[in-house]
Homo-oligomer: A and B are copies of this chain.
């Protein structure tokens, strides 16, 4: 019954049967890396894992046990497709902290905000439709967009985030070409990977453009409550209710292991999201939803987020200090919150080509190319300061400086690395350092 064509090979008998969209599924650039980066001797500046040791595990253990012992028959049962009404109420309260006015009925609970992103893409994107996204943009979003055969058009950003004039130019040009632009995907606060934040005036400009051009805004905001100084920049959703789908998550403010995120959407869009989610997973986990609801009701979650902020502030400080000390020939963004800084390396150096040598030197990062749909980014890398301790961060950057120094020597000796051919790009690599 073997369908293998020859001993020692393992061909795929179903190769001809896959859907068109499946041919776009490729192993992410970062996947193999994470296997390496998780070895304890490697300092990983690659992942976006929150530092969970800052959580009150004993308290969470106790409230979860109480929940199961007293309400297990509900907590372990099926729920409704939109999410538990009690948790949706809490989510509205959490968002109010960021200036967002919402009704629990507007909220759709998802399996992490990644599923929300999948659902939004699923309901809007036909193959070839255009999604506008920052240049660079979140790697996980790019992989969803690709899996629905969208065309991602990167729009330039600077140290104040997405540039309104570049957005307008892209829309005008694409519309002139007859392209169907479905939405703008944007991370205005503590951008992943760029680490920058868009001031509120610019958010209003972006919103004006999208409103005038009738383009939906999909605002992804997992890090918004993690400003190092505790301040809040109003979400785009706080400025407009009808033209924005907002994506939120407990992954960075509490813990990702529950896989609970959410979308807030205009009424009709929300209906479609719920139907698409029901088709996709029936309903989100009651166990996870009610664990979080119980936690929010019984614990000092605002205090815990304040603890997180302080942890990440110190780590960011360590990162920026180490960069200044060890990587004087690079430039980088200066985050005011979140998990990441975006580093630009000297001309001629290719961060993608350098990565194997970095892991050999026991330090890992994500190459900038992961954050572009079109092959750009090889002069950049994303460094995360969320997970390792400040001491490890310093050590990681120190190791990186050794790798970079050798790379500069190589370039001096053999000339710059010739990158692979990307598809045509319309915008220059971003100037965000």
Contact among B72, B251, B269 for A12, CB-based, below 8 A: B269
Say if the beta carbon of A316 comes within 8 Å of chain B: no
Q: Is A19 an interface residue (CB 8 A)?
A: yes
Partner of A124, one of B18, B47, B50, B66: B18
Could you say which residues of chain B place their CB within 8 Å of the CB of A259? 111, 281-285, 287-288
Contacts A65-B64, A111-B281, A278-B28; is A19 near B124 (CB within 8 Å)? yes
Bin chain A's interface residue count. Answer: 35 or more
Interface presence of A375 (CB below 8 A): no
Partner of A279, one of B55, B64, B118, B285: B118
Residues of B within 8 A of A26 (CB): 275
Q: How far is the CA of A136 from the CA of B241 in the complex (A)?
A: 42
A205 within 8 A of B: no
Chain B residues with CB below 8 A from A242, complex form: 1-3, 13
Among B111, B122, B143, B286, the residue within 8 A (CB) of A278 is B143
30 contacts between A and B (CB under 8 A): A1-B211, A1-B240, A3-B242, A3-B243, A10-B268, A12-B268, A14-B269, A19-B122, A19-B124, A19-B129, A19-B148, A21-B123, A25-B123, A31-B81, A57-B73, A61-B66, A65-B65, A75-B257, A77-B256, A115-B281, A122-B147, A140-B282, A144-B279, A144-B280, A258-B285, A259-B282, A259-B283, A259-B285, A287-B287, A288-B288
Residues of A whose CB lies within 8 Å of any CB of B are: 1-3, 10-15, 17-22, 25-28, 31, 47, 49-50, 52-53, 55, 57-58, 60-62, 64-69, 72-73, 75-79, 81, 111-112, 114-115, 118, 122-126, 129, 140, 143-144, 146-148, 182-183, 211, 214, 216, 240, 242-243, 251, 255-259, 266-269, 272, 275-276, 278-288, 291
